Chain A
Amino acid sequence: MTSSHPTLAAAPTDPWRIGDTQLTSRFLLGTAGYPSPEVLRAAIEASGSQVLTLGLKRTLGTTGQDNGFVQIIRETARVQGAHLLPNTAGCRSAREAITLAHMARELLGTRWLKLEVVGDEQTLQPDPFELLEAARQLVKDGFEVLPYCTDDLVSAQRLVDAGCRILMPWAAPIGSGLGLLNPWALRTLRARLPGVTLVVDAGLGAPSHAAAAMELGFDAVLLNSAVSQSRDPVGMARAFRDAVQGGRQGWRAGLMPTSDVAIATTPVGGQPFVLP
């Protein structure tokens, strides 16, 4: 894929893939909750994102106008060379998610799918059983399934067994901004699933959270509210873009080992005025 967007041209040459598509930006951006279509457009441009998420709603079942948001997303994606990633937000069962997935594929012309099946109303935690059932069917139906899942290792392994090549474990509940609540679990996922593309999705609230996820060796991050709900979504999109790049570069460079005790940095050979 090519893009004329200047922020993408400046990105380091460190590609990754969704399916057969090579990407250079490791920052996937949600499109909900922005104050205006113009701010959304500018935030997308500032993010340098090559993957933008969308949802589906009942056309006649809700009031209110779209105000041109979807058109802006389509236009900006085309100009920026970004891809659309529809989700199955709102689904509570595998059957619902499968139906919505097929609708999204028809409407948006993509077989990529962020698979969401929620199992708890307060935490919006994914239902691991319905998620797995839906993933199995949708992989058979030809979708590139990106399941939004918890950080549970065995559930993740089952999704991989079902044919998911990319997993998107949460950092914290959707929209919470709490950051990486269980770094140990995320680190374990990375260590135990070395061949799987891992994207931290949901719960990131600050650019430092994104950098921390990338420093754990995750391949990308997906977030929405941290940008759209900030005072300056465009500036925050830029901050996350830089944090993701910095975290990735830190991971590639190799973080130093940690120690519970101090290790002197300056090689003075003991105390300056004390004879051995």
Chain B
Amino acid sequence: MSPDFLTIHTDRGPLRLPVGSTLADAVGLLLQAAPDAATVATAVNGEFVARSARADHALHDGDTVLCFSPITGG
């Protein structure tokens, strides 16, 4: 791993980001590939991170970032 970059795990596969990146940065990049998913909720390593906290949530190498959306359900 380059000391200037970190790698996170996502549903799109590994994502390489500059050290110091936040969850907001990652979500912005991930949703570029799915523009219809305008509204998502997020979890880092299985823990909920509120939308309001994404910009302050620093990511670390090896973190898993997942985004969730509503679907039909019973």
Contact = CB atoms under 8 A, between A and B. Distances in A.
A217 interface: no
Interface in B35-58: 37, 39-43, 46-48, 50-51
Interface size bracket, B side: 20 to 34
Nearest to A222: B74
Contacts of B69: 56-57, 59, 70, 107
User: Contact size class for A?
Assistant: 35 or more
Contact of A60 (B10, B43, B72): B10
A34 to B, nearest CB: 7
Interface in B2-58: 10-12, 30, 33-34, 37, 39-43, 46-48, 50-51
A225 B12 CA distance: 32
B37 A99 contact: no
A102 B52 CA distance: 13
Contact of B41 (A32, A73, A96, A103): A103
A131 to B, nearest CB: 17
Nearest to A74: B70
A240 to B, nearest CB: 14
B47 A55 contact: no
Contacts of B40: 59, 107
B68 A107 contact: yes
Contact of B37 (A59, A223, A224, A225): A59
Given A59-B34, A59-B37, A59-B40, A31 B74 contact: yes
Contacts of B72: 30-34, 40, 54-55, 69-70, 73
Interface of A: 30-34, 40, 53-61, 66, 69-70, 73, 86-87, 89, 95-96, 98-100, 102-104, 106-108, 174-175, 202, 223-225
